[in-house]
């Protein structure tokens, strides 16, 4: 039987199962911790640092840190949210994010985080990098201008034979996501949609149908990111 432990987030005592991460415990208790590189079903690697919390005064990533009995965690504080806002701004200026022309607008986690953290003008200069667009595959378009290198696609997407759809080329500032054209050309429409949904931004786009869902009616057009978690115990209520 799983062992129940108690942790404290922002002064509120909650229950967690031993072995859960801080992030999993928070989500189960309706507490939102912002994330980008973490994704259900993919082992977290802590590459974006957006889920940074303070544990007993030390900065840690909630997606990889196991919850332990008696842990005191700071999450939704002005200081931590300012760090998160700076991370979001840094991600925006590192790439080329032109939201109004992006098929993912309204369904994009980065855009939604920009709104949630009230980003106005980023404090860092834009780098306007030269990045390739690969439109040669029949199933998927890859626009790396918007890539935030979260690696959700590389770690989470395989075809039915276990072959990866995407890989990372080069390292450091030259790192770039590339698709396996042979594998991607033979995926089902469902898999192409899954690939698009796995990407938190608008890099991976399923071909043949665009702007099917009107701007203004999309997921984060209706509710801010994190709303589902924060309201999970209010469903059907007032
Ligand atoms: S293509 Fe999308 S899922 Fe893959 S690393 Fe870039 S942002 Fe992440
Ligand atoms: S979500 Fe934890 S580091 Fe990215």
Domain boundaries, the chain: 4-76, 85-209
Domain 4-76 top-level CATH class: alpha beta
Q: What is the whole-number distance in angstroms between the Cα of residue 58 and the centre of ligand 2? A: 16
Distance CA 20, CA 226 (A): 20
**What pTM value is reported for the model?**
0.94
Q: Topology of domain 85-209, per CATH?
A: Alpha-Beta Plaits (3.30.70)
pLDDT at 129: 94
Q: What is the whole-number distance in angstroms between the Cα of residue 228 and the centre of ligand 1? A: 23
Which atom belonging to ligand 1 lies closest to the Cα atom of 142?
Answer: 1
pLDDT at 234: 78
Residue 136's Cβ-count burial label (10 Å; 0-12, 13-18, 19+) is exposed
In the chain, % of residues over pLDDT 70? 98
Angle at 119 between CA 214 and CA 151, to 5 degrees: 70
Lining residues, ligand 2, CB within 6 Å? 35-38, 44, 46-51, 61, 63
pLDDT at 235: 59
Q: What is the whole-number distance in angstroms between the Cα of residue 60 and the centre of ligand 1? A: 23
Which atom belonging to ligand 1 lies closest to the Cα atom of 146?
Answer: 7
Q: What is the whole-number distance in angstroms between the Cα of residue 149 and the centre of ligand 1? A: 5
Which residues of the chain register pLDDT less than 50?
237-238
Q: What pLDDT, in 10s, does the model give residues 73-117?
A: 999 999 999 999 999 999 999 999 999 999 999 999 999 999 999
Helix H, strand E, coil C: the string for the chain is CCCEEEEEECCEEEEEECCCEHHHHHHHCCCCCCCCCCECCECCCCCCCCCEEEECCEEEECCCCECCCCCEEECCCHHHHHHHHHHHHHHHHHCCCCHHHCCCCCCCHHHHHHHHCCCCCCCCCCCCCCCCEECCCCCEEEEHHHCCCCCHHHHHCECCCCCECEEEECCHHHCEEEECHHHHHCCCHHHHHHHHHHCCCCCEEECCCCCCCCCCCCHHHHCCCCHHHHCCCCCCCC
Residue nearest to atom 1 of ligand 2 (CA): 35
């Amino acid at each position: 039987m799983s062992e129940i432990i108690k942790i404290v987030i922002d002064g509120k005592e909650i229950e967690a199962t031993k072995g859960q991460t801080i992030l999993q415990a928070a989500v189960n208790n309706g507490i939102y911790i912002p994330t980008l590189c973490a994704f259900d079903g993919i082992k977290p690697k802590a590459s974006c640092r957006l889920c940074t919390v303070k544990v007993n005064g030390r900065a840690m990533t909630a997606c990889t840190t196991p919850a332990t009995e008696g842990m005191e965690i700071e999450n939704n504080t002005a200081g931590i949210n300012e760090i998160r806002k700076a991370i979001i701004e840094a991600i925006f200026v590192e790439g080329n994010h032109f939201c109004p022309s992006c098929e993912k607008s309204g369904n994009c986690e980065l855009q939604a985080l920009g709104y949630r953290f009230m980003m106005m003008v980023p404090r860092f200069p834009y780098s306007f990098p030269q990045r390739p667009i690969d439109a040669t595959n029949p199933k998927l378009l890859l626009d790396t201008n918007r890539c935030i290198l979260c690696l959700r696609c590389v770690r989470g997407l395989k075809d039915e034979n276990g072959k990866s759809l995407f890989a990372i080329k080069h390292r450091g500032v030259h790192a770039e996501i590339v698709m396996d054209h042979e594998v991607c050309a033979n995926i089902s429409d469902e898999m192409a949609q899954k690939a698009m949904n796995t990407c938190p931004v608008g890099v991976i786009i399923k071909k043949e149908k665009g702007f099917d869902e009107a701007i203004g009616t999309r997921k984060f057009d209706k509710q801010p990111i994190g709303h589902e978690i924060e309201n999970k115990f209010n469903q059907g209520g007032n």
